[in-house]
Amino acid sequence: MLLSLIVFAAAHGNAIAEDAAPARALTAETTLATARAVLQEVIQEEGLLAGQIARVGDMLARTGPSLGKTRNVFAEAEVVQFCSARDAWQMTEENPDQIAYCPLAISLYTLADSPGTVHIVYRFPGTDSPARAHVAALLNRIAATVQQRLKHP
């Protein structure tokens, strides 16, 4: 399987951005529920449709014991998905492999040992093409706006 991924990456070199850090993260002192409400508001203000909320923390807590895990990493963890048809078209016309970025998502979590700090995390697509740069700017703007509003309500 690893060999398949290496061959795929070599054949589709432009599918994996050189400048793409795996994730970007910001923090704010608040509750996860408050951060989620602000994130959904900011997404809507950008003219985007907020979609599914994946409760990843609940899934990890539920499955941990069957995997021999004795502690939870997260107090709470959610992934908020959202979409822009315009951005999806721009990304996939530029490179069909960029469908992997759809839907866009921003994760929110609190750690078990510091439940008052919400982490705002998202996959960074890089800036090595016009579409990626546009989506990177959008994600940066949404996350920074959420952080700013949480710091100064």
Q: Per-10-residue mean pLDDT for the chain, 153 residues long? A: 36 43 90 98 95 96 96 96 94 96 96 95 95 96 97 81
Beta-bridge partners for 94 = none
Burial of 121 (0-12, 13-18, 19+ CB in 10 A): buried
Say which CATH architecture domain 20-151 belongs to. Answer: 2-Layer Sandwich (3.30)
Q: What is the pLDDT of residue 152?
A: 83
Q: What is the pLDDT of residue 16?
A: 41
Sign, CA torsion 13/19/20/22: positive
Indicate the domain borders of the chain. Answer: 20-151
Q: What is the pTM of this model?
A: 0.83
